[in-house]
Amino acid sequence: MPSPHAEAFFDAQTSTFSYVIHRDGNPSCAIIDSVLDYDPKSGRSSTDSADRIIAYIRNNQLQAQWILETHAHADHMSAAAYLQKELGGKTAIGEHIRHVQKVFRDIFNLKQEVTPDGSQFDHLFHDGEKFHIGDMAVTALHVPGHTPADMAYCVEGLGVFIGDTLFMPDVGTARCDFPGGDAHTLFASIQKILALGDETRLYLCHDYPPDNRQQQSCVTVQEQRAGNIHVRDGIGADSFATMREARDATLAMPVLILPAIQVNIRAGRYPEAEDNGVRYLKIPINEL
C-alpha cells in the first residue's frame, strides 16, 4: 500500500505551514491549518495561499474530506470557509473551542452573533477520538496549554500534526499567555506528544528560523527530546513554566490577533454584512 503523504504550503507573511494529507491511489484528503491572506493596513483579504492548496488538490484529482484546525489561531485567518465552498469537505476542530468562543465572544461583545457551542464547525473532536482520511486512520489528541482547545492529529504511518505546541528545537515552544493558556498544562501536553516514540515525525504549524537555516516543517520526537531549547530531556515542569511565563511577559501580541480570532471562532467566516453591505471587524480598546 502506498505511504501517506503530507504536502506542506508555507505562508511567509505569518510563517505558517498548511498541509494537504493524502495517500496515492485514494482521492480523499484533509487540509490542516489553512491560511486566508489578510493585510491589516488596508483591511483587505485575498485567497492566494488557499488557491495554491486548491490547485494542488485539483491537479492531483483529490477530494477534500476534512478541513481541520488545530486551534483558533491568533496569528492568521483561517481559509476554512472559502476552501469548503470551493472543495466541499467537513470543517472540524477540538470540542474545547466552545470555551475559546465564549471568552472571545465576551471580549468582542458578540453575544448576538456568536453562539459558543461549536456549531460553526461541522464536527468537534474529543480527546482520543478516531476517524479516517480515506483509508488512513487518524487519532485526535487534546493538547491544551497554548490555548484550551488545541488539538493534534496523529495520522497512522505518517506522523503528528501538532499545531502550536512545539516549534523546531532551536526555537522552542508556543506561548501560553492567551486567555485560557497555561504553561504547566502545555508542558503536560508536550510530554504526551513526546511519549509517542522517538521516530515519530512531528509536523509543525510554524517555523521562525534563525538566519543560518531555512524553514523546516517536520522534526522527530528524538530531535525534540535531545535539543529543544525549552523542553529537552532533563527540564522539569516547574522550570519550564517559570521560563515560559517570564518569556511570555516580554512578547508583543501577534499582529493579526484581533481580526484573526473574530474570523477563526466562526470557522473562517466573516461577520455578517451590516445594512450598508459592508462587513466589519471590531477592535476592543485596552482589553488584550
β-pairing, 44-46 vs 151-155, is unpaired
- Identify the pLDDT of residue 266: 98
pLDDT above 90 as % of the chain: 96
Q: Is 185 helix (H, G, I), strand (E, B) or coil?
A: helix
- Identify the pLDDT of residue 262: 97
- Identify the pLDDT of residue 212: 86
In the block, residue with C-alpha cell 518569556: 247
- Identify the pLDDT of residue 275: 95
User: What parts of the chain have a pLDDT lower than 70?
Assistant: none
pTM, 2 dp:
0.96
Give the model confidence (pLDDT) of 162-217 as tens digits: 999 999 999 999 999 999 999 999 999 999 999 999 999 999 999 999 888 999 99
- Identify the pLDDT of residue 255: 95
